[in-house]
Amino acid sequence: MRKIFSFTTFASLAVAASLISVVQAVPIPVTSGLQFRVDASAITGLNSGDSVSTWSDISGNSFDAVSRGGVFQDPTYQLTSFYPGGPTKSVVRFNTAGGNDSLQLQLTDTVSLFGGGTDWTTFVVFAKNSPNTSGFGLIGSAGNPSIGIGLGSRNDTSLTITYSGVGDSATAVYHDGSTKIYDVVAWTHDNAAQVDRAYQNSNLVATQNFATSPNVTNALVLGTFEGNGGFLNGDIAEIIVYDQKLNSSDFTLVSDYLTAKWLPEPGSLGVLVIGAMFLVRRRVVRA
């Protein structure tokens, strides 16, 4: 089995330490159209293993993700390494014990994120802890509205935008979780052109036309597919939602920002420039 390991190399350890801390502190590069953002590294006051009853939205809109109550459990805050020997980072872990962990966004107007007739761009940094045999959800509609939305997978081995009652759109093959791999995944919804696109680590992996734009009319949830099934067994580090389709330049800025922050990749040599800062990334694939 091929395994992908990630690490970052610098000219010196002193430079590495300073650059890592600075890159972590760099503000999000695109704020226009920012509607929702949760970031595990911004969580304070919790120890590893504590329940996350509120994951605060730091977009400025206060669409916090909070406990659903009833039969639903809260995810947990965890400190984990994203690759062997890598630094410890914060994540929100869903369903370690195979439960129904999920959180619900505090939205009074659910159309704010995924309304009919609007464009949007969504980024999610996540990893599966093991195969999710019944699929997995990252963000989507609670319940099953006629044309609600779900971002995740119906069958565990795909990245999919799903519109209930309409069908799947922009579906790409995805790894099954047997090897834990963190990725930056993204979806864009272009309402005017009626095109959905799915991305994995900045690479376009699926494009598909659609006939009906989703119109979310009820609650939005994290960590489940349509609110009551397909619960994610995995970690989410960050979610960002824009109420517009980002142009290629802005899309690359956000994708590179998330990659530098969460996946300082060992392997193919590259330089990421953020303002006056840079870091060198390499990616190594081993059999």
With beta carbons less than 8 A apart as the criterion, state whether 13 and 285 touch: no
pLDDT of residue 25: 60
**Is residue 100, in this structure, part of any structural domain at all?**
yes
Closest listed residue to residue 232, CA positions, set 98, 91, 109? 98
pLDDT in tens, 58-78: 999 999 999 999 999 999 999
Question: Residue 148: which residues within 8 A CB-CB, separation 6 or more?
Answer: 140, 141, 163, 164, 214, 215, 216, 217, 218, 226
Q: Is residue 13 part of a domain?
A: no
User: Which of 174, 175, 205 is closest to 187 using CA atoms?
Assistant: 205
Alpha-carbon distance 251 to 32, whole Å? 12
Task: Give the contacts of 111 (CB within 8 A, at least 6 positions apart).
Answer: 118, 215, 216, 217
Mean pLDDT of 184-200: 94
Per DSSP, the residues of 171-223 read: EEE---SSS---EEEEEEEETTTTEEEEEETTEEEEEEE-SS-----S-EEES
> Cβ(53)–Cβ(66) under 8 Å?
yes
Q: Which amino acid is at 221?
A: V
- Classify residue 7: in a domain, yes or no: no
Give the pLDDT of residue 108: 75
- Which range, 17-21, 107-111, 139-143, is most confident? 139-143
Residue 12 placed within a domain: no
Which residue from 154, 167, 119 is spatially nearest to 225, judged by alpha carbons? 154
Q: How confident is the model over 110-153, as pLDDT tens digits? A: 777 887 778 999 999 999 999 998 889 999 888 766 678 889 99
**Which one has a higher pLDDT value, 272 or 79?**
79
Does 225 fall in a domain? yes
Q: What is the mean pLDDT of the chain?
A: 83
Give the separation between CA 188 and CA 190, rounded to whole angstroms.
6
Number of domains forming the structure of the chain: 1
Domain membership of residue 166 as a residue range: 29-262
**At 241, which CATH number?**
2.60.120.200
**Confidence category of residue 266, pLDDT binned at 50, 70, 90:** low
Q: What is the pLDDT of residues 203-262, one digit of tens each?
A: 999 999 988 887 777 789 999 987 788 899 999 999 999 999 999 999 999 999 999 999
Residue 8 has pLDDT above 60, yes or no: no
| 185 is a domain residue | yes
How does DSSP classify residue 148? -
Residue 16 has pLDDT above 50, yes or no: no
Q: What are phi and psi of 251, to 5 degrees?
A: -60, -45
- Is 19 domain-assigned? no
pTM over 0.75: yes
How large is the average pLDDT for residues 175-196? Answer: 94
Question: Stretch 85-104: mean pLDDT, rounded?
Answer: 91
Examine residue 281 and state whether it is found in any structural domain, yes or no. no
pLDDT tens for each residue of 25-65? 679 999 999 999 999 999 999 999 999 999 999 999 999 99
Cβ atoms within 10 Å of 54's Cβ, excluding its own? 13
- Round to whole Å and give the CA distance between 200 and 190: 18
